Structure 1
Amino acid sequence: MEKRRLIVGKKRKNKMAYVLSEKGKKFADNIKLKFEMAKARSWDGQWRVLIFDIPEKVRGRRDFLRKELQEFGFFQLQKSVWVYPYHLPKDFFDLWEGFTFGKELILIESGRIENDHELRSYFGFR
C-alpha cells in the first residue's frame, strides 16, 4: 500500500502510525461502496473469517488493519479474528497488496461457526 501511495507512515513517539492518504481514502471509499452493494444482496450462508498474526514490532500496521476491518463492518470475534457474512470484493484484497502481510493474513470461508447467535444478531440475521 505504501508503494501505491494509499497509506502514509508517520512517526509518533518513536512508533510508526499508518493513515490513509487522500488517494487511499478514495480507494477505501470505493471498496466500502462495493461492500454496501454486497450487503444489499441476500446472505449466502457463508462466513468469511479473517485471521491475522501481526508481530508487535509492526503494531501500527496491526492497529490500522483492525480499524479498517471495523469500518468495513466486520465483527471482532477475538482480538485477531474478524468475521464478515458477505462476499468480499477483489478490491478488498487489493487494498492490502504491498502491505507485506504475507502469511500473516488468513481468510477462511465456512458455512458453520459454532454458537453463532451473536454473529447472526450483529448482522441482523435470524
Structure 2
Amino acid sequence: MQTRNLRIGNLKKKILLLLLAGLALGLTRSPKKHWWILKQIPKEWEKINRQALQRAIYSLYTSHLIKERHNRDGTTTMILSENGNKKALRFNIDKIEIKKPAKWDGKWRIVMFDIPEKLKGLRDSLRLHFREIGLIELQKSVFVYPYPCSKEIEFIIELYNARKHVRFILAENVDNQLHLMKKFDLC
C-alpha cells in the first residue's frame, strides 16, 4: 500500500520520532493515563494542546504512518507502521554526521553500488546522501571517505532497502591517493 505524499508538521514529526525511539503512546479512555505517558517526555511536550495532539495522532493514523495495537488491559497503544518507520528514519537522515577521529588511520572507505536503470531514483538518492555526509565520488557510483563511516552507510542503505546493490570496502591504498588526501585536507 502506498501512502500519499503528505506534509508532516512539527508535532507529527515529533510523534513519529518518539515512536521510532521506542516510546509507546498509550491511548486509553482515562485521560490521566494518557497524560501520564506524555509527562514522561521532555518539558516542550507540556505545552502541547491536547486537541492538537489528538488531531495529529488521528492524521498519522489515517495516513497509515501509525497503527493501533489493542492490549489485554483494554488500552490501545499506538505504534509505528512500516511506512511510519520509513518516514521517521527520513527525518533522522538529515541529522547524520560522521565524526572525524583526531588522527587518520590511513585507510580508505569505498562505497560502490550497481543499481539498475529502472531504479534510477534510488541511485540518485544514494548519490545525494553520500555527498551530503561528505563522501567524494571517485567514479560514477563509487564513493570514497577516509574515516570510519560504516554505521552511517548502513543506516542509509537500510533506509533505502538497497542492501543487495551496495558494497563497502576498506582499502589501504588508492591509486590517486595524494589527490584524495588534498581533497580531505589530510596532507
Indicate the TM-score class for this superposition, using the shorter chain for normalisation: 0.7 to 0.9
* Deviation (angstroms), 1:25: 4.7
Query: Please, what TM-score do these two structures have when normalized by structure 2?
Result: 0.51
Q: Supply the RMSD in Å over aligned alpha carbons.
A: 2.0
Name the counterpart of 1:28.
Answer: 93
CA 1:102–1:92: 2 relative to 1, 3 Å: closer
Question: Structure 2: any 5+ residue segments left out of the alignment?
Answer: 1-81
**Which AA in structure 1 matches 2:86?**
R
* Deviation (angstroms), 1:122: 0.6
Aligned pairs for 1:19-98 within 5 A: 23-32=88-97, 35=98, 38-88=99-149, 90-97=151-158
Aligned-residue identity in percent: 36
- CA deviation profile, 1:44-69 (whole Å, cap 9, x unmatched): 11100000000100100100000001
Query: Is the helix fraction higher in 1 or 2?
Result: 2
Aligned residues of 1:31 and 1:89 also touching (Cα < 8 A): no
The higher radius of gyration belongs to 2
Aligned residues of 2:114 and 2:165 also touching (Cα < 8 A): yes
CA 1:5–1:25: 2 relative to 1, 3 Å: closer
Q: Give the secondary-structure state (helix, strand or coil) at the position aligned to 1:48.
A: strand
Query: Is the strand fraction higher in 1 or 2?
Result: 1
Query: Please, what TM-score do these two structures have when normalized by structure 1?
Result: 0.73
Stretches of 4+ aligned residues off by more than 4 angstroms: none
